[in-house]
């Protein structure tokens, strides 16, 4: 009798877990999207460095620091999935 009750509960929990993972997507898919966003942001910064009229030292330091942080974050995400 105990297994008759717990079996449907386990099945319901499994279905709920599957629905949640379908709704939110897998971690790898989210990380891949983040890698793409980081790459686009790095490209944007490099375009700003090339074509921007704002060449102040402060702006250059901010862009350089931001780009370095993005490169590091992208490197860590790529290493997580052993992508080269």
Q: What is the pTM of this model?
A: 0.66
pLDDT confidence of residue 70: 95
Let me know: does 35 contact 72? Beta carbons within 8 Å.
no
Please give the Cα distance from 31 to 82 (Å, whole number). 13
Please give the Cα distance from 52 to 41 (Å, whole number). 15
pLDDT digits (tens), the chain, 84 positions: 455 666 677 778 888 877 777 777 778 888 888 999 999 999 999 998 888 888 889 989 999 999 999 999 999 998 988 866
pLDDT confidence of residue 17: 79
pLDDT confidence of residue 71: 95
Domain boundary assignment for the chain: 2-80
């Amino acid at each position: 009798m105990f297994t008759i009750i717990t079996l449907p509960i386990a099945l319901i929990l499994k279905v709920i877990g599957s629905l949640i993972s379908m709704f939110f997507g897998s971690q790898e898919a989210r990380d891949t999207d983040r890698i793409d966003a980081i790459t686009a942001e790095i490209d944007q910064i490099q375009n700003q460095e090339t074509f921007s009229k704002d060449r102040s030292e402060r702006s250059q330091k901010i862009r350089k620091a931001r780009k370095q942080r993005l490169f590091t974050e992208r490197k860590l995400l790529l290493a997580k999935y052993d992508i080269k």
